[in-house]
């Protein structure tokens, strides 16, 4: 396998330039990287955004954690997933990215403190940590039939300045879900080291296995934050509503909420209309969620069926989420394969290096595209990978 890689930024830039050239040339691209549910033909109820026009939104009631009725609606939605969370322990944000920023401000001193981030994973953390002056430290997920937490790697990479561990479950793009044992191990480690655990669960509503449909729950001895939002749970990225659910020992939670109140009061970033509409949007989003779930399940099945005719290609197990990881023959670099697909087959996929896969050769596709387009893109991808 190829082990020498050029800097990811350089490879990514070459692919971005090639995408621009293809679009300038007028080539219709099959985009197997899209993760925007509003642009892939999902049937949304015509009146889904009507609650945003509620007259109650004309009155501004600034609250550092958000309006209580909106937080109560989030708490009820957690009950749907089998988790009981006190609305008073829920903090509303404009997005998951903002939630990370608030938590970095809460937990870390800039230009010194560190947080641990999983790899492979979506490359957002390097930007978010940089913007808050926090140092990211990578810990590995290893593939052994499924992606598993490497506890020894967490201990090995731990720093005296580590203030939090970030976990993404389901992970993007591996689709792996933390087991109760893995979540418990993370909680124990953070408790031992006096750190917090941040668990990003934005894709939790999209299981592709029975095991992934059951939320892993523990009684944490450390300070723990669960992140979610309407962007994924209701397929509504444009309404900008996320949340933080705070859990852990009462003393730690009380102190964290007191300090989060100061931070939240300084920003007050969540709009009143979306807070007033939160309960209705969560309820109406259930129909969208079902349609997205049906789409990703159908595309996942189509991908695995098509791959059976290509024994040199391995579609890795996906427990939940909107992405699928495909291991392809390492007879060329990922960059070369992705550029050939783009320039010769007019198909766009993500290379594994975009997500910090440790070696060649992987590509990542979204399970969201419209079925006919997805099947054709997969056909071209599998044919090219076999060349």
Same-domain pairing of 174 and 218: yes
The CATH number linked to 354 is 3.90.1150.10
Same-domain pairing of 300 and 239: no
Nearest CA to 49 among 239, 296, 183? 239
Count of beta carbons in the 10 Å neighbourhood of residue 179:
16
Same-domain pairing of 115 and 197: yes
**Measured distance CA(351)–CA(146) in Å, rounded:** 20
CB-based contact 245:226 (threshold 8 Å): yes
Cα Rg for the chain, rounded, in angstroms? 21
Reply yes or no on whether the pLDDT at 125 is more than 50: yes
Same-domain pairing of 211 and 279: yes
Same-domain pairing of 278 and 325: no
Segment 359-386 shows an average pLDDT of 96
Condensed to tens digits (0 to 9), the pLDDT of residues 152-185 reads 889 999 999 999 999 999 999 999 999 999 999 9
The CATH number linked to 104 is 3.40.640.10
Same-domain pairing of 184 and 89: yes
Segment 133-160 shows an average pLDDT of 93
Same-domain pairing of 37 and 155: no
Opening angle at CA 86, ends 165 and 180, nearest 5: 45
**Measured distance CA(234)–CA(345) in Å, rounded:** 33
CA distances from 104 to 108, 127, 171, 196, 198 (A): 5, 13, 20, 11, 10
Predicted confidence at residue 5, as pLDDT, reads: 44
Same-domain pairing of 242 and 333: no
Q: How confident is the model at residue 21 (pLDDT cuts 50, 70, 90)?
A: confident
Q: Over the chain, what is the mean pLDDT? A: 93
In a domain, 308, yes or no: yes
In a domain, 87, yes or no: yes
For residues 7-26, one letter each, b for 16 or more C-beta atoms within 10 angstroms of the residue's C-beta and e for the rest, the string is ebeebbeebeebbeebeeee
Same-domain pairing of 109 and 248: yes
Segment 188-208 shows an average pLDDT of 97
Predicted confidence at residue 3, as pLDDT, reads: 36
> Is residue 351 within a helix (H) or strand (E), and if so which, with residue range?
strand 350-351
In a domain, 223, yes or no: yes
Reply yes or no on whether the pLDDT at 186 is more than 50: yes
Domain boundary, last residue among 232, 262, 284: 284
Domain boundary, last residue among 284, 314, 338: 284
- Under 8 Å CB-to-CB from 197, ≥6 apart: which residues? 164, 165, 167, 186, 187, 190, 220, 222, 223, 224, 225
Q: Which domain range does residue 138 map to?
A: 54-284
Same-domain pairing of 90 and 181: yes
Bond from prior residue into 120 cis (ω within 30 degrees of 0)? yes
Count of beta carbons in the 10 Å neighbourhood of residue 170:
26
Reply yes or no on whether the pLDDT at 387 is more than 90: no
In a domain, 116, yes or no: yes
Predicted confidence at residue 19, as pLDDT, reads: 77
**Measured distance CA(232)–CA(63) in Å, rounded:** 24
Q: What is the DSSP string of 179-236?
A: -HHHHHHHHHHHHHHT-EEEEE-TTTT-BSSTGGGS------SSEEEEEEEHHHHSS-
Q: How confident is the model at residue 215 (pLDDT cuts 50, 70, 90)?
A: low
Q: How confident is the model at residue 16 (pLDDT cuts 50, 70, 90)?
A: confident
Predicted confidence at residue 6, as pLDDT, reads: 44
Same-domain pairing of 103 and 123: yes
Total structural domains in the chain? Answer: 2
Count of beta carbons in the 10 Å neighbourhood of residue 336:
12
- Which of 355-359, 362-366, 374-378 shows the lowest mean pLDDT across its residues? 355-359
Segment 122-129 shows an average pLDDT of 92
Predicted confidence at residue 12, as pLDDT, reads: 66
Give the HSE-up count for residue 23: Cα atoms under 13 Å, Cβ half-sphere. 9
In a domain, 1, yes or no: no
Same-domain pairing of 164 and 68: yes
Domain boundary, last residue among 236, 265, 284: 284
In a domain, 3, yes or no: no
In a domain, 103, yes or no: yes
């Amino acid at each position: 396998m190829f082990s020498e890689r050029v800097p990811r930024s350089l490879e990514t830039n070459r692919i971005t330039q090639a995408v621009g050239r293809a679009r300038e040339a007028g080539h219709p691209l099959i985009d197997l990287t899209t993760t925007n549910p509003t642009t892939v033909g999902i049937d949304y109820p015509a009146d889904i955004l009507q609650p945003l026009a509620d007259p109650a939104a004309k009155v501004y009631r600034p609250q550092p954690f958000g309006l209580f009725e909106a937080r109560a609606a989030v708490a009820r939605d957690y009950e749907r997933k089998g988790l009981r969370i006190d609305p008073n322990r829920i903090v509303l944000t404009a997005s998951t990215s903002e939630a990370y920023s608030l938590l970095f401000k809460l937990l870390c001193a800039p230009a010194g403190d560190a947080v641990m981030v999983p790899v492979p994973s979506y490359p957002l953390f390097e930007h978010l940590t940089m913007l808050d002056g926090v140092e990211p430290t990578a810990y590995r997920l290893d593939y052994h039939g499924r992606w598993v937490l490497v506890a020894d790697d967490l201990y090995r990479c731990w720093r005296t300045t580590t203030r939090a561990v970030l976990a993404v479950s389901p992970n993007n793009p591996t689709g792996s879900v933390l087991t109760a044992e893995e979540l418990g191990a993370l909680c124990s480690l953070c408790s031992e080291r006096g750190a917090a655990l941040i668990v990003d669960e934005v894709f939790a509503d999209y299981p592709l296995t029975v095991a992934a449909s059951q939320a892993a729950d523990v009684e944490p001895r450390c300070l723990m934050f669960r992140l979610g939002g309407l962007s994924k749970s209701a397929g509504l990225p444009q309404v900008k509503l996320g949340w933080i659910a705070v859990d852990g020992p009462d003393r730690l939670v009380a102190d964290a909420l007191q300090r989060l109140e100061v931070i939240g009061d300084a920003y007050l970033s969540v709009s009143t209309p979306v807070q007033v509409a939160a309960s209705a949007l969560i309820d109406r989003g259930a129909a969208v969620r079902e349609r997205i779930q049906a789409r990703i399940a159908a595309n996942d099945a189509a991908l695995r069926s098509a791959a059976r005719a290509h024994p040199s290609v391995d579609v890795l197990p996906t427990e939940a989420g909107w992405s699928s990881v495909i291991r392809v023959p390492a007879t060329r670099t990922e960059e070369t394969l992705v550029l050939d697909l783009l320039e010769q087959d007019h198909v766009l996929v993500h290379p594994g290096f975009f997500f910090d896969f440790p070696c060649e050769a992987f590509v990542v596709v979204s399970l969201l595209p419209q079925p006919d387009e997805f099947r054709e893109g997969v056909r071209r991808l599998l044919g090219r990978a076999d060349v």
